[in-house]
Structure 1
Amino acid sequence: MFARLLLLCLLGISCVNCEYLFKKLCSDEDPHQCEVYNVILDPCEDGKNFCTINKLKHYTLSIDFLPKFSANKLNMSMLIDDKLTDTFDGEVKVPSDACEVLTCPVDAQTRRLFDVRFKLGKSIAVGKYPVKMKLFNSENEKQSCCFTFNVKIKK
């Protein structure tokens, strides 16, 4: 317990221009599969409702979550709804093996922290958009942790 508290404190100290994001669980996923406690975007100087981010600049998304399922291998996807059609068909980060940034296997009821680095491609238009982050069991995609947050994209 002390180690988790220390890790959260260090995470807060190392985030000079970061912000805890306002996040929502994905409406198309089972909300009982996972709890997402904190989502931090670094850098984020504007506030938790709409972090302003620039294209082609690197960002780190820190996620504190508790899966209610076990998995030998997790996959992750990070998508953007840049057409505002609720389809999330634009890729922010190519779907990949989450075990590259998170130690696997993942045990049920064990709280985890991990960071994902990303940058937006130049093809995404300037505007305000929701982003969807999903971690899921590669053997059963219904077992997932999924949430959305909003960003404001600048040039």
Structure 2
Amino acid sequence: MSFSAVTCAAVAVVGLIFATVANTEEVDNFRMCRNTHCEVFDVFVNPCPEALDSKPCELPQGTNASIEFKYIPKWGSSQPVTRLYAETLVMDLPFLGMDTNACLYTECPMVAQATQIYNYNLYISESYPKGGYTVKVKMWNGESNAKSSDECCFKIDIAIV
């Protein structure tokens, strides 16, 4: 491979990395669920250039998206459980295919009053209907002696396009 081919390949890789990072934006219009016992901050969704204008993230069918945030739970757990839901008027509908073991997405055990990071990659299935949704991101203590208040939950708005 010639020097110019290596240079072009390196520029292409850097461009691809920049394009990926450039679509990751902080979502500042998230809302905490009622009766949640944690702090959530630094919420990032990729891709979500719409967040720059405080609009719902537009996630195309058949693509991957990621959500990352920092949180400080007021409770600890060695068996945390997590789920993403689409909020509806009747009931919360879980996103299918998600492993509910929160230790796959955050450090375990979860430690009370310690800042931790959660990172989940979501496939936006072609079977998900297009439209606007409020997504509820929820974690709770899965231990048998857990209190019902051992929960961390917030909401963001998305549009499946």
TM-score tier by shorter-chain length is 0.7 to 0.9
Give the aligned CA root-mean-square deviation in angstroms. 1.8
Amino acid at match of 1:59: A
1:128 paired residue number:
132
Q: How far is 1:52 from its partner?
A: 0.5
Please identify which structure carries the higher helix content: 2
> Matches of residues 5-20 of structure 1 in structure 2 within 5 Å?
15-20=21-26
> Is 2:152 the counterpart of 1:148?
no
Distance in 2 between residues matched to 1:53 and 1:95, nearest whole Å = 21
Q: How far is 1:55 from its partner?
A: 1.3
2:111 paired residue number:
107
- Secondary structure at 2:95's aligned position in 1? strand
Runs of 5+ unmatched residues, structure 1:
1-13
Please identify which structure carries the higher strand content: 1
1:64 paired residue number:
70
Runs of 5+ unmatched residues, structure 2:
1-19
2:9 paired residue number:
none
Amino acid at match of 1:73: Q
**Structure with greater Cα Rg:** 2
2:13 paired residue number:
none
Q: Is the 8 A contact 1:130 1:150 kept in 2?
A: yes
Task: Tell me the TM-score normalised to structure 1 length.
Answer: 0.79
Q: How far is 1:86 from its partner?
A: 5.4
